[in-house]
Amino acid sequence: MSNSVTTGMLPDHYEQLAKTVRDFAQSVVAPVAAKHDEEHSFPYEVVSGMADMGLFGLPFPEEYGGMGGDYFALCLALEELGKVDQSVAITLEAGVSLGAMPVYRFGNEDQKQEWLPLLASGKALGAFGLTEAGGGTDAGATKTTARLDDGHWIINGSKQFITNSGTDITKLVTVTAVTGATGPRGQERSDSGDGHGKKEISSILVPVPTEGFTAEPAYNKVGWNASDTHPLSFDDVRVPQENLLGERGRGYANFLRILDEGRIAIAALSVGAAQGCVDECVKYAKEREAFGQRIGAYQAIAFKIARMEARAHAARTAYYDAAALMLAGKPFKKAAAIAKLVASEAAMDNSRDATQVFGGYGFMNEYPVARHYRDSKILEIGEGTTEVQLMLIAREAGL
């Protein structure tokens, strides 16, 4: 069985972090993963353990309650968690890169001081309200609106597929909303977005609870059953004008930056899933016997697992590269899209092959490979579909 981080490949502090999270994943997460998946229950005890380890604060400075690490450290943690339970991994990923990171990247000092220590502690979760029924990637289809009234934003509309939005510890939802429309030369034409100009989209912080905000009943999903996901509704939600996050009209552009970063994190999670399938198959192929010998001795099985290992390795290299560019302050949009594309497909392909290696057992939900098979499909959809990644890669290539 190969580890995701080979000794000597990375600096010691990264190696130690990966080992610590790996041990936690195996000893704390894995034993309860099947139970939470079957019950569709949120793993509060696991999240509390991650909070105690400081995982939710990994990429944030100590002055804001963080661990003083970086985004690559978060990715290493996600890879290790993704090996055994994607629901737990996405809870961390969304809590950090979608819940807290927008405040860190675009918030003013007062907003950072108010929210980051709480979110970085892991004692509270933030959510990212972008996707709507008629538009996620399509910003022009955004229908949620926010208008100013006596020093407050009045928000009306709905969002869907929002992770970490309805837990007992959810304390913040950041919402993108149409706050006006601009004319051909950029001048404001309407304060409500009802005019004919291009929609002005801003992002606004909504504390939870706030009157008029509702997390509707959770979805019944194919996978990620222990991850919290809800549609949201906003009915005359009233928050102070100061809750504007970043510059007015830059909400969608800012969140595109957040999604670029998040694709590296999703790639890391995907690599964990791909590698987890390899690890389970290697162990099973050494134990399971058919026709008088272990199935790993058959070339058909051995080669299938070898291809799985190659996919995981290639995908890991891709997200390492994207993370290195990001941390160096260099353009990383194309590398992030490549990493997300390659890694999500590796997870889906490996989970399918792992189910085949396990045969009938692979179709039983009690086995990790079955959960990976159900869970991995969303990796090709969330934070930008495969088609969106191809579009970005082609555009960055000059097409």
In three state form, how does the secondary structure of 188-254 look? EEECCCCCCCEEEEEEEEEECCCCCEEECCCCCCCCCCCCCEEEEEEEEEEEEHHHEECCCCCHHHH
Query: Is residue 63 annotated as part of the catalytic site, yes or no?
Result: no
Q: What is the pLDDT of residue 156?
A: 98
Phi and psi at 247, nearest 5°, equal: -75, 140
How confident is residue 138, by pLDDT bands cut at 50, 70 and 90? confident
pLDDT tens digit sequence for 301-342: 999 999 999 999 999 999 999 999 999 999 999 999 999 999
Q: DSSP label at 159? A: E
As a whole number, mean pLDDT of residues 24-45 equals: 97
Taking the C-alpha atoms of residue 38 and residue 194, their distance in angstroms, rounded to an integer, is 45
Q: How much is the mean pLDDT over the chain?
A: 93
Beta strands 188-190 and 170-182 are antiparallel
In DSSP notation, 75-86 reads HHHHHHHHHH-H
Higher pLDDT, 191 or 37: 37
How confident is residue 240, by pLDDT bands cut at 50, 70 and 90? very high
Contact 224, 230 (CB under 8 A): no
The b/e string for 323-362 (b: 16+ C-beta within 10 A; e otherwise) is bebbeeeeebbbbbbbbbbbbbbbbbbbbbbbbebbeeeb
Residue bearing tokens 């034409």 = 189
Higher pLDDT, 366 or 184: 366
pTM score = 0.93
Q: Is 7 a residue whose pLDDT tops 90? A: no
Percent of the chain whose predicted confidence (pLDDT) is above 90: 89
Phi and psi at 128, nearest 5°, equal: -125, 100
List the domains of the chain with CATH numbers. 12-124 (1.10.540.10), 126-249 (2.40.110.10), 254-396 (1.20.140.10)
**Number of neighbours of residue 306 by Cβ within 10 angstroms:** 12
Which among 280, 309, 345, 383 is annotated as catalytic? 383
The b/e string for 132-160 (b: 16+ C-beta within 10 A; e otherwise) is beeebeebeebebbbbeeeebbbbbbbbb
Q: What is the pLDDT of residue 196?
A: 54
pLDDT tens digit sequence for 146-205: 999 999 999 999 999 999 999 999 999 999 999 998 755 445 444 544 445 689 999 999
